[in-house]
Amino acid sequence: MTWIRVCVTMFGAYVFLVLHARAGQNPDHMLLGTGVKPGESKRAQGGSTVSPEDAPRFLSCYCSGHCPEDAINNTCETNGQCFAIIEEDEHGETLLTSGCMKYEGSDFQCKDSPRVTPRRTIDCCQTDFCNRDLQPTLPPPTEKDPLFGSAHWLAFLISVTVCSIALIVITVICYYRYKWQTERRRYNREMEQDEAFIPVGESLKDLIDHSQSSGSGSGLPLLVQRTIAKQIQMVRQIGKGRYGEVWLGRWRGEKVAVKVFFSREEASWFRETEIYQTVLMRHENILGFIAADIKGTGTFTQLFLITDYHENGSLYDYLKFTTLDTKSLLKLAYSAACGLCHLHTEIYGTQGKPAIAHRDLKSKNILMKKNGTCCIADLGLAVKFNRYASPREHSQCCPSSPQKSGGDDQLSDTNEVDIPLNTRVGTQRYMAPEVLDESLNKNHFQAYIMADIYSYGLVIWEMARRCVTGGILEEYQLPYHDMVPCDPSYEEMREVVCVKCVRPAVSNRWNSDEDPVIVYQLAGVYCELGHP
């Protein structure tokens, strides 16, 4: 590992510096004369003889204890300095010596501070025989144990350091190995437990079908949901909005959509999860719910909502780049209506389904399926109608959806409307007039249904613009595109929709005799929805 190599390198450098410093503190290798006897001449590099008067002047010093082999009468010569050293030997006796110091490094040695362990002082001078008069003094003794300045102590210190580093390295390696083995055992144990909840080979469709047939109809069991969420592999981000991000994920090779909510949007996540897990909520024209879970990483919390993945994206994206014929238009409008109808439908029974209003229906919250139909998504603002009265007669809403109550508008006046407690609001562009002017009766559930139908009428208008009729095709635009800016405020939408009572224009080609009957009928439906 890289950090181990760094530690070993640093330790080697430390040992080298310690040994080098100890060697540098012993100047004996420099306390030597030049080996030139007095009166002898020097030879140049070319071999010619240089007369004594032409040679550089050498200093004569008194030597005692550090005399070179060619010294005469305790005299040596050097091109450096004369020195005198007083030091204390290992037996505590004081020894005064003197001699010649070479020029190289003489300044460094002469300016060295007195050593305390072992006690030693050096003085230098630069005149002939000046070191006879030098009287260096020893530094005062310390109470420190002499052992700390000995070679034995240095060896002991190095040994302890090496052993300590080795022990630390071994401990770290053992810790990480133990941690890795523990994680592996836990992973294997969790995999065995996961297989108990989700057998190998089970697909999402198998799990959901089994849950629908043998469960309560409110979705997969909680442990199965948490197991799926834990096994999801995030592939890439495919969308981002005010609530959080949408990722493409994989579970056992199957593509899923993972909606990751911001932590501040926990109320929205909770509400959408609650709505999706409503009994008998699953429908082919409502986005298929798979699982929901909360993942904590220690520093932040991730709120996951896992649903079916539709690669064609939203109806908004689809209409911008795709043209429709009459059949495709009918298919889209009908499938969206069936999904909305199922939401609005109240189903009675031992485990019935409450009526639900979307409150944020728009083309960006409707997803395109591969078969040319669509499904309604984003239920974070939905409201539920919890009825406590006795069941009444049922009536058919549309062939592909369950039956609903045939009660009148007054039924909501005596029953509970479950409104989500979050700070999010709908999209201003698609808000009904009664929402914009704040005249909507919040305790009257039918009012929420009518607001959804108004939004659905605007979605029909978007679809119809992209349908080719009479050889004419209009570019995709949002409702009220020519009346308000891209991100209109409440005041701007209220001015247009409530004060001026303006609605998106109905194209003349929709009323043409050449148009198919269905387009004309859709235009009529839109007019009724837009002008209730």
Full DSSP string of 126-154:
-STTGGGS----PPPP-SS-GGGGSHHHH
CB 403 within 8 Å of CB 374: no
Joined together, the tokens standing for residue 362 give: 């728009």
Say whether pLDDT at 374 is over 50: yes
pLDDT surpassing 50 at residue 502: yes
Query: Which position has the higher pLDDT, 181 or 286?
Result: 286
Is residue 429 within 8 Å of residue 478, measured between CB atoms?
yes
Q: How high is the pLDDT of residue 406?
A: 40
Residue 365 has pLDDT above 80, yes or no: yes
Gap between the Cα atoms of 84 and 74, Å rounded: 14
pLDDT at 522: 62
> What was the pLDDT predicted at 362?
95
Asked if 462 contacts 363 with a C-beta cutoff of 8 angstroms, the reply is: yes
Going by pLDDT thresholds of 50, 70 and 90, the confidence category of residue 118 is: confident
Give strand pairing partners of 77.
Answer: 60
Q: Could you count the other beta carbons within 10 Å of the beta carbon of residue 156?
A: 13
Q: How large a percentage of the chain has pLDDT more than 70?
A: 69
Q: Where are the domains of the chain?
A: 59-132, 217-309, 311-387+421-531
Q: Which among 194, 360, 378, 515 is annotated as catalytic? A: 360
**pLDDT category of residue 159 using cuts at 50, 70 and 90:** confident
pLDDT band at 185 (very low <50, low <70, confident <90, very high): confident
Tokens of 24: 């540098």
pLDDT digits (tens, 9 = 90+) for 43-61: 444 444 444 454 556 889 9
* Residue 372: predicted pLDDT: 92
The whole-number pLDDT of residue 483 equals 94
What mean pLDDT is reported for the chain?
77
Question: Is residue 210 predicted with pLDDT exceeding 70?
Answer: no
Class of domain 311-387+421-531: mainly alpha
Q: Residue 139: is its pLDDT beyond 60?
A: yes
According to DSSP, residue 234 is labeled E
Query: Which of 462, 488, 508, 469 has the alpha carbon at shortest distance from 336?
Result: 462
Of the ranges 293-302, 416-425, 505-514, the best mean pLDDT one:
293-302
Amino acid letter for position 21: A
Task: Please give the pLDDT value at position 45.
Answer: 43
In which order are the strands placed within the sheet that holds 81-88? 65-66, 94-101, 81-88, 120-125
* Percentage of the chain exceeding pLDDT 90: 31
Helix H or strand E encompassing 509: none
- For the question of residue 112 being annotated catalytic, the response is no
- Residue reference for tokens 């139909």: 373
State the pLDDT at residue 48: 47
Q: Cis ω on the peptide bond leading into residue 38 (within 30° of 0)?
A: no
For residue 454 the two structure tokens come to: 């108004």
Average pLDDT over residues 481-495: 92
3-state secondary structure of 291: strand
pLDDT tens-digit readout, 418-452: 776 555 578 999 999 999 998 888 888 899 999 99
User: What is the pLDDT, as a whole number, of residue 92?
Assistant: 79
Nearest C-alpha neighbor of 449 from the set 532, 344, 360, 336: 344
What CATH topology corresponds to 59-132? CD59 (2.10.60)
Q: Which of 107-116, 229-238, 366-375 has the highest mean pLDDT?
A: 366-375
Instruction: Tell me how far the alpha carbon of residue 71 is from its chain's centroid.
Output: 78
First and final C-alpha spacing in the chain? 74
Whole-number pLDDT of residue 422: 53
pLDDT (mean) for 324-349: 90
Assigned CATH class of 217-309:
alpha beta
Residue 259 labelled as part of a binding site: yes
DSSP string, 148-206: GGSHHHHHHHHHHHHHHHHHHHHHHHHHHHHHHHHHHHHHHHHHHHHHHHS-TT--HHH
- State the Cα–Cα distance between residues 324 and 316, nearest whole angstrom: 13
Strand partners, 42: 50
| SS3 call for 99 | strand
Across the range 129-152, mean pLDDT stands at 74
